Structure 1
């Protein structure tokens, strides 16, 4: 079983507008009203929710441990997760706060502004997680580090430590690098309990202060992480382990239609392969394929591929044997 710990949000995307309107008065005017060529898009958001959703679409048993409100937004999110076959035991619903939401407005020049209501993500605390799920997990993915303030750092350390005691494969995604971003000194007590440290290049630089990818990766490995995986978007990913082994897996050329959730989809694909006992090369290539298929779709994580679809995609992009 896969257990993901992270935020769960309803994401709203407004696009197809000439310019972002200005604030002004409480009446509709030429300055504060704009027409949008594209309809409002609602998709599943949140690192923990997306990874669990993608894993379920691949056919794995996955439960997201996080919280949503007892509201309409929560109903929508819960329905999406249930329809994908996600195990709902780890999901908490509360009437104390609302479901977390992110609203993103993008104009035709691709200028973007985002509004985030943390809601249940900031309410969610370690005592809300059923520890029996951690004990039963084959793989534990901890994500949304800066977005779960009641967990850092001791709550995260506790579940990672317990998971390693029972032989669970552990992964920690330190992104996103927003707000009070994850810092190496804060992470240092956690890293000896982390099999896979996941990040992108920007998150790596912010966390370690290193000027190069190599320096940042080495800092995390020296602090205790067993593997560091750096996600590089269309360029693929890099995996480095404590022995110094350095593996580069190129990405796939696809037309990017919706990039939100790509990193979480990659995490799901990678850990799916790790759980299957695949070689690092095969697991990385599979993860890149899962992320590429999510990016190429128009529905974000809600368009996550099945295992058969990923295998068909890989067969069409054969690049030699990686078994």
Structure 2
């Protein structure tokens, strides 16, 4: 879909059209290893269902050994990487900064990202192991993730390509990066440079556990740097300390001018300058919820960088998310390029 001058705020028009990239993403570069399992597998492994758990290389190896007879699929992933790939699928132009190494998974990661249409920013290191995320999906479409971060935790400020950052409309940073000292510094540099160069900052809270660990810091960060917040209802409640979703999104709306909070099958809340609206979702029968939030953020960012209103952007985000939950894994098998007008007709 072609961006139109009349759809944009006049002060943003010339700036947007001077940018080389729509979005510059920063995140943990992880190879997703996707498998379908029965609940008894989780019970046997004593794995907590439905959440992301950090594990070391030994534990990851044990789990993979027990999966040896189960069919597995590989995808380049990590939360922000999934979002960049889905933006490219919609027709957007983006690049990504993450860290892999010269092992089998690292070589796969780089090629897979580039094949998906995303410029991969960071050259592989020579030592260490590329991070992996074992994604276990049960018949109820719930996904359980076991993440071994590997060398992804060594992403540092020197890995952020500032010229590409300055050439982007948005930067998009994942909250998972606040768990490591060097990744946190890389994220802080990204946000500071974005603000200094008229690049808008989008930030996802990533996970309720991330919020609970760094709640005060996330609140201050949102106030100081963030133009667009992404979260789900659970994350929004954790950050706000509220018990009602509307109160939660309203609170976050006092920290940032634009907030998108997903609400499952109900759709997503949009809070723009304090005004809240629920944008309905699309009816689906979910197969695998892996990457739904990442896909939603991709749809929204595509919209915001192509002249959509926040409400229309949320509607497109809901559609992209609805398609991803009908697939296995966080990658769409269908192309969404040029489908925006059809899907958003009358909206």
Question: Given the two structures, how large is their TM-score scaled by the length of structure 1?
Answer: 0.84
Distance 1:58 1:22 in 2: 40
Post-superposition shift, 1:69? Answer: 1.9
Counterpart residue number, 2:180: 149
2:305 aligned with 1:284: no
Q: Is the 8 A contact 1:16 1:107 kept in 2?
A: yes
Q: Is the 8 A contact 2:100 2:129 kept in 1?
A: yes
2:302 aligned with 1:272: yes
Counterpart residue number, 2:8: none
Matches within 5 A, 1:213-224: 213-222=245-254, 224=255
What root-mean-square deviation, in Å, do the aligned CA atoms of Structure 1 and Structure 2 show? 2.8
Structure 2 vs 1, CA of residues 250 and 73 (structure 1 numbering), >3 Å: closer, same or farther? same
Q: Is the 8 A contact 1:183 1:208 kept in 2?
A: no
Distance 1:237 1:135 in 2: 30
Bigger proportion of residues as helix? 2
Equivalent position SS for 1:91: coil
2:281 aligned with 1:255: no
Structure 2 vs 1, CA of residues 108 and 236 (structure 1 numbering), >3 Å: closer, same or farther? closer
Post-superposition shift, 1:289? Answer: 0.9
2:201 aligned with 1:170: yes
Structure 2 vs 1, CA of residues 151 and 182 (structure 1 numbering), >3 Å: closer, same or farther? farther
Where structure 2 has 5 or more consecutive residues not aligned to the other structure, the ranges are 1-20, 46-64
Match of 2:98 among 66, 74, 98: 66
Distance 1:179 1:187 in 2: 9
- Map Cα deviations across residues 247-276 of structure 1 (whole Å, 9 max, x no partner): 211110122122111111111110111111
Q: Greater relative contact order: 1 or 2 (C-alpha under 8 angstroms, separation 6 or more)?
A: 2
Post-superposition shift, 1:83? Answer: 1.1
- Map Cα deviations across residues 284-314 of structure 1 (whole Å, 9 max, x no partner): 11111111112222343253633234554x1
Counterpart residue number, 2:84: 52
Q: Give the aligned length.
A: 305
Matches within 5 A, 1:2-151: 2-17=23-38, 19-20=40-41, 22=44, 39-88=71-120, 90-106=121-137, 114-146=145-177, 149-151=180-182
Distance 1:10 1:251 in 2: 29
- Map Cα deviations across residues 39-89 of structure 1 (whole Å, 9 max, x no partner): 22323321121111111122222101111121111122222211122112x
Structure 2 vs 1, CA of residues 182 and 309 (structure 1 numbering), >3 Å: closer, same or farther? farther
Where structure 1 has 5 or more consecutive residues not aligned to the other structure, the ranges are 24-31
Post-superposition shift, 1:194? Answer: 1.1
Distance 1:48 1:220 in 2: 21
- Map Cα deviations across residues 174-222 of structure 1 (whole Å, 9 max, x no partner): 1123367453420233223211111001111222322222332333333
Q: Is the 8 A contact 2:242 2:248 kept in 1?
A: yes
Counterpart residue number, 1:26: none
Matches within 5 A, 1:289-308: 289-303=319-333, 305-308=335-338
Structure 2 vs 1, CA of residues 102 and 161 (structure 1 numbering), >3 Å: closer, same or farther? same
Equivalent position SS for 1:253: coil
Structure 2 vs 1, CA of residues 304 and 208 (structure 1 numbering), >3 Å: closer, same or farther? farther
Counterpart residue number, 2:228: 196
2:245 aligned with 1:245: no
Q: Is the 8 A contact 2:27 2:174 kept in 1?
A: yes
Question: Given the two structures, how large is their TM-score scaled by the length of structure 2?
Answer: 0.78
